Amino acid sequence: MEEKIMIERFTRSQRVQHFLLLVSFIILIVTGLALKFHDSWFGKLVITLEGGVIARGIFHRFAAVLLIFVAFYHFFYIIFTRYGHDEFLLVLPKFKDFKAAFQSVKFTLGLSAEHAEIDKYAPPDKFQYWAVVAGSFLMIITGLVLWYQTQAMLVLPKWAIDITRVVHSYQGVIIAVVILLWHLYIVHLNPKRFPMSRIWIDGKVSLEELKVEHPLEYERKYQGVADENK
Amino acid sequence: MLKVKIIFKTFLFGLSLSLLLPVKGWGQFSNADCLNCHGDKTLSRMVKGRTISLYLDEPLFKKSIHGELECTNCHQSIKELPHAEKLASPDCGTCHSDVRGMVSKGLHNLIKDGCWACHGTHDIKSSQVSTSITHKDNRTELCLKCHKDRENVFFTTYQHSSVEFPGGAKGKVHCYQCHDSHRASLPEPVKVCGTCHNKIFAELNKSVHAKAKLRELPNCRNCHSEHKVKAGELVDKFTRLTQEISGCRECHSKETEDYFQGMHGKEFQKKNPDVPSCVSCHGAHGILSEKDPESPIFHNNIIKLCVKCHEDEKLMAKYEQLPQPVVFKAFEKSVHGMAVEEHGLLVAPSCIECHGAHEMRPADDPKSPVNKVNIAHTCAKCHPGIDEVYQRSIHGVTLSKGILDSPTCTDCHGEHDITAVRDPSGRVSPKNIPKTCSACHAEEKIVKKYGLLPVAYDTYKDSFHGIAHKFGEIVVADCASCHGYHDILPSSDPRSSINPKNIPQTCGKCHKGASENFAKGKVHIEATKESSLGVYIVRKFYTWFIGILAILFVAYILLDVLGRRRRRIKGI
């Protein structure tokens, strides 16, 4: 059997960032939703397992600090490292993304036999990235307001805090929905990769797969590699 | 032979006479002289139309204790024969001076017939002889000759007509044992009764009555009707209560009147035998001062006293409208009950401090100290400072205006089962405060009737404070932390802890450095247009946003799955 050529799609630094983000998100979502749905069996179970609401708050804030750390790490990563900066440029939304998205839909519906022209990051990938960036930013800001509410209220009136609380609470739900319903499906749960892709651990995809899913990137970077192997 | 016998007998008689005569006044006249006339059975005389026999039955006289005396020893006024028709009565006191002295001091001194009304005249027998009318076993019958009206009660209903004496002997108590034969006095009851009832006598001597040195102490007769006296257990219960109450009433009229104003007294007037009388609480003979720790009405013994009846399951089952034993048991476990019974505090209330003692009125009586409008004043007897604060609060003010839905002390603290604030099971412990307040503030009827904030409890439960509280954090704010407890006032009142001006200070109790911004916005946030528009809009936006996102994601997944399936079948 011909051995598959594996390509490292994500570097170790990216995988570490992803892992830290993943850990902080899981803790934040579980403890956050437990508070939001405190009357449900889920809320009661989680809060009891954590050892009460005070302990829940400590877990939540611990994960928040981790998230803030990852956010800063990532910020410096895309500004000060060459590779990080290139990657950032790749993930920036462009007009042709709309065209690609449209083509993907057509392909999925069977209206067109051609794959969309996709570089390293497909429109859903970009959407998720920017959703995480925006969502995290909003959550960090509102979270800090709630964390230091007495200080925040030196500036903000009580009603603003109340709105902040609602925003924080619903934004958390949005992030949970994006991750559970979309991100997990795309990367792990879809029929092709079910039950799990190992990419988040080793960062590798097969060249074959990459060629199908990211034709532009394949042309740009791996055409030569494939030819050599032939 | 017969002749010889007669001569001999005559001789002996003469001899005996000759022996006697010198002693009894020789040269005067002898009993034989008297019998010359009085030996005649027909001898009589008329007194006020009645025929009085003057016959003396000589053999009977001879057998009497005085049989050897001369007639003139008693009938001293006879100096010669024949004697005058009217004679002075004999004076027994000539010989029995001691007895006469006793009689003259007694009631029987008034009796004209003197000694012989009881003892008889010529046929007097020693009281030692069992056939004698004055023998101790016969003496009561003797008394009844004149005191006939007493007969029925004495021998039919008297406990004293059949008594078991110490040692087991049975018999009856005779008149003389109380009244004294010769003095025939009205007895000093306590002393006389005490000769037999020495245990009760000892109790009486220790009682507050004995110690009080009153001029006239209550005596046995006050309560135990003298001749009808019966052992308590033989009297039917209600009669007994009546006797007990009327006995005390003679001196303690005010207390008795109070008693009749109360529940117990009212029931008594309905002839209910289950109610307590004076004796039930105070004791009977050995009544002690309330200051005496041995007394059943000593402060620390009162609970025990009341629960004798009120924890009696059988008795209380008859009175469903009364608080049942479980309530009293709860009181014994309450902060007050424990203070009295466990810690022996004299300042802690037992039953009577709240309910009153003699005048124990039911709670629905407006004069009752435990009537809703009076409760705060009753509690204020011990907690005066708190009452003052409460009276100024919205609850105190509205209650005083006659709004009976307003809570008084017991509505929050409980009645009998009051606990300390630090007791986690208590109604006013931080853990249970929201539940206690919401009993009214989340009760639709009351909320509507008085225009209270309808969502106060629900919004609290959904706040950070409420959630933390629900999960057992008691340091977190509960209702009282912000609203106060005894001093609760509506936010419109400038003195209120939740008046906007005071909110920074109130929040600042926990949120150190709370600014004026704490007052800018609602605390009980309800996500409606009218209440909190900002929160409402944001929530609406997010609800739609999340809903649409979720639908899009699900649609994406469905399309993707179907697309892959279609391509696989086609083999692309």
Mutate to test the interface with B, among A42, A153, A154 (most CBs of B within 10 A): A153
Note the Cα B184 to chain centre separation in Å.
37
Give me the mean pLDDT over the B21-38 stretch: 68
Checking if the pLDDT of A104 tops 90, the result is no
Q: In this structure, what token pair is assigned to residue B489?
A: 């006032």
Q: Closest residue of A to B556, CA-based? A: A182
Checking if the pLDDT of A34 tops 90, the result is yes
Question: What is the rounded distance in angstroms from the CA atom of residue A17 to the CA atom of residue B272?
Answer: 88
Checking if the pLDDT of B155 tops 60, the result is no
Note whether A162 contacts B471, CB cutoff 8 Å.
Answer: no
Give me the mean pLDDT over the A53-80 stretch: 95
CA angle B209, B211, B212 (to 5 degrees): 65
Strands A6-8 and A204-206: antiparallel
Note whether A108 contacts B549, CB cutoff 8 Å.
Answer: no
Residue B224's identity, in one-letter code, is H
Structure-model confidence comparison of residues A5 and A92, the more confident one: A92
Q: In this structure, what token pair is assigned to residue A145?
A: 């307001």
Q: In this structure, what token pair is assigned to residue A65?
A: 């600090």
Note whether A150 contacts B468, CB cutoff 8 Å.
Answer: no
- How many other C-beta atoms lie within 10 A of the C-beta of residue B328? 20
Residue A106's identity, in one-letter code, is K
Q: How many CA atoms lie within 13 A of A220 on its CB side?
A: 10
Give how far A230 is from chain B: nearest CA, Å.
24
Identify whether the C-beta of residue B302 lies closer than 8 Å to the C-beta of residue B309.
Answer: no
Mutate to test the interface with B, among A163, A171, A179, A185 (most CBs of B within 10 A): A163
Helix axes B325-333, B302-310, angle to 10 degrees: 160
Helix axes B533-570, A95-109, angle to 10 degrees: 50
Q: B45 - beta bridge partners?
A: B52
Nearest residue, CB atoms, A158 vs list B518, B542, B556: B518
Confidence label for B114 from pLDDT (cuts 50, 70 and 90):
confident
Structure-model confidence comparison of residues A125 and B184, the more confident one: A125
Q: Which residues of A touch B531 (CB under 8 A)?
A: none
Note whether A181 contacts B535, CB cutoff 8 Å.
Answer: no
User: Which pLDDT belongs to residue B13?
Assistant: 57
- The percent of residues above 90 in pLDDT, for chain B, comes to 40
Of the candidates A175, A184, A89, the one whose C-alpha atom is nearest the C-alpha of residue A132 is A175
Give how far B568 is from chain A: nearest CA, Å.
11
Q: Is the dihedral of CA B468, B410, B325, B422 positive or negative?
A: positive
Identify whether the C-beta of residue B498 lies closer than 8 Å to the C-beta of residue B480.
Answer: no
What does the DSSP 8-state code read for residue B356? Answer: -
Query: 3-class secondary structure for B442-496?
Result: CCHHHHHHHCCCCCHHHHHHHCHHHHHHHCCCCCCCCHHHHHCCCCCCCCCCCCC
Strands B163-164 and B50-53: unpaired
Cβ under 8 Å to A: B residues 541-570: 542-543, 545-546, 549-550, 553-554, 556-557, 559-561, 563-567
Note whether B572 contacts A113, CB cutoff 8 Å.
Answer: yes
Confidence label for B1 from pLDDT (cuts 50, 70 and 90):
low
Between the CA atoms of B456, B460, B461 and B464, what dihedral angle is there, to the nearest 10 degrees? 170
Note whether B539 contacts A166, CB cutoff 8 Å.
Answer: yes
Tens digits of residue pLDDT in A212-221: 888 888 888 8
Tens digits of residue pLDDT in B46-94: 888 888 888 888 888 888 888 888 888 888 888 877 888 788 888 888 8
Burial state string for A125-137 with b = 16 or more CB within 10 A and e = fewer than 16: bbbbeebbeebbe
Q: In this structure, what token pair is assigned to residue A110?
A: 């069977």
| CA B172 vs CA A191, B179, B293: distances in Å | 114, 14, 39
Q: Closest residue of B to A106, CA-based? A: B563
Identify whether the C-beta of residue B314 lies closer than 8 Å to the C-beta of residue B331.
Answer: no
Give me the mean pLDDT over the B446-464 stretch: 91
Burial state string for B528-561 with b = 16 or more CB within 10 A and e = fewer than 16: eeeebeebbebbeebeeebeebbeebeebbeebe
Helix axes B372-380, B384-392, angle to 10 degrees: 140
- How many other C-beta atoms lie within 10 A of the C-beta of residue A169? 18
User: Which pLDDT belongs to residue B183?
Assistant: 78
Structure-model confidence comparison of residues B327 and B20, the more confident one: B327
User: Which pLDDT belongs to residue B150?
Assistant: 57
Of the candidates B337, B489, B341, B330, the one whose C-alpha atom is nearest the C-alpha of residue B417 is B330
Note whether B470 contacts A38, CB cutoff 8 Å.
Answer: yes
For chain B, what is the mean pLDDT? 85
Nearest residue, CB atoms, A182 vs list B538, B546, B556: B556
Give me the mean pLDDT over the A117-134 stretch: 90
Any A CB within 8 A of B367 CB: no
Question: What is the rounded distance in angstroms from the CA atom of residue B416 to the CA atom of residue B336?
Answer: 8
Helix axes A53-80, A41-50, angle to 10 degrees: 90
Q: Any idea which of A42-56, A69-83, B178-192, B317-331 has the lowest mean pLDDT? A: B178-192
Identify whether the C-beta of residue B347 lies closer than 8 Å to the C-beta of residue B382.
Answer: yes
Mutate to test the interface with B, among A150, A175, A186 (most CBs of B within 10 A): A150
- The percent of residues above 70 in pLDDT, for chain B, comes to 90
Structure-model confidence comparison of residues B26 and B410, the more confident one: B410
Note whether A170 contacts B539, CB cutoff 8 Å.
Answer: yes
Residue B82, preceding bond cis, omega within 30 degrees? yes
Note whether A157 contacts B520, CB cutoff 8 Å.
Answer: yes
Cβ under 8 Å to A: B residues 487-546: 511-515, 517-523, 525, 527, 532, 534-535, 538-539, 542-543, 545-546
Note whether B517 contacts A153, CB cutoff 8 Å.
Answer: yes
Checking if the pLDDT of B462 tops 60, the result is yes
Of the candidates A1, A55, A2, the one whose C-alpha atom is nearest the C-alpha of residue A27 is A55
User: Which pLDDT belongs to residue B207?
Assistant: 86
Checking if the pLDDT of B24 tops 50, the result is no
Give me the mean pLDDT over the B427-434 stretch: 92
- How many other C-beta atoms lie within 10 A of the C-beta of residue A219? 12
Nearest residue, CB atoms, B472 vs list A52, A155, A159: A52
User: Which pLDDT belongs to residue B498?
Assistant: 94
Q: Which residues of B touch A134 (CB under 8 A)?
A: none
Note whether A153 contacts B515, CB cutoff 8 Å.
Answer: yes
Is residue A7 helix, strand or coil?
A: strand
Give me the mean pLDDT over the B439-446 stretch: 93
Which domains, from first to last, does chain A contain?
6-84+107-229 (1.20.950.20)
Of the candidates B187, B259, B258, B189, the one whose C-alpha atom is nearest the C-alpha of residue B217 is B189
Note whether B514 contacts A150, CB cutoff 8 Å.
Answer: yes
Q: Which residues of B touch A159 (CB under 8 A)?
A: 520-522, 532, 534-535
Tens digits of residue pLDDT in B323-366: 889 989 899 899 999 999 899 999 999 999 999 999 999 999 99
User: Which pLDDT belongs to residue B42?
Assistant: 86
User: Which pLDDT belongs to residue A3?
Assistant: 64
- The percent of residues above 90 in pLDDT, for chain A, comes to 57
Confidence label for B298 from pLDDT (cuts 50, 70 and 90):
very high
Q: Which residues of A touch B514 (CB under 8 A)?
A: 150, 153
What does the DSSP 8-state code read for residue B110? Answer: G
Question: What is the rounded distance in angstroms from the CA atom of residue B201 to the CA atom of residue B408?
Answer: 50
Q: Closest residue of A to B476, CA-based? A: A54
Give me the mean pLDDT over the B518-528 stretch: 87
Query: What's chain B's length in residues?
Result: 572
In this complex, how many residue pairs, one in chain A and one in chain B, have their CB atoms less than 8 Å apart?
114
Question: What is the rounded distance in angstroms from the CA atom of residue B420 to the CA atom of residue B431?
Answer: 13
Q: Any idea which of A145-159, A167-181, B148-162, B201-215 has the lowest mean pLDDT? A: B148-162
ipTM of the prediction: 0.89
Checking if the pLDDT of B15 tops 60, the result is no
CA angle A21, A27, A32 (to 5 degrees): 120
Tokens 């042309």: give the residue. A219
Mutate to test the interface with A, among B470, B471, B531, B561 (most CBs of A within 10 A): B471
Between the CA atoms of B274, B364, B368 and B326, what dihedral angle is there, to the nearest 10 degrees? 50
Residue A195, preceding bond cis, omega within 30 degrees? yes
Checking if the pLDDT of A141 tops 90, the result is yes
H or E element in which residue A104 lies: helix A95-109
Q: Which residues of A touch B525 (CB under 8 A)?
A: 162
Alpha helices in B55-160 (DSSP H): 58-63, 71-74, 97-105, 116-119, 139-146, 151-152
Checking if the pLDDT of B539 tops 70, the result is yes
What does the DSSP 8-state code read for residue B269? Answer: H
Residue B157's identity, in one-letter code, is T
Identify whether the C-beta of residue B57 lies closer than 8 Å to the C-beta of residue B40.
Answer: no
Question: What is the rounded distance in angstroms from the CA atom of residue B216 to the CA atom of residue B219?
Answer: 8
Give how far B485 is from chain A: nearest CA, Å.
24
Identify whether the C-beta of residue B181 lies closer than 8 Å to the C-beta of residue B143.
Answer: no
Identify whether the C-beta of residue B485 lies closer than 8 Å to the C-beta of residue B428.
Answer: yes
Question: What is the rounded distance in angstroms from the CA atom of residue B140 to the CA atom of residue B229?
Answer: 17
Note whether A160 contacts B513, CB cutoff 8 Å.
Answer: no
User: Which pLDDT belongs to residue B188?
Assistant: 73
Checking if the pLDDT of B23 tops 50, the result is no
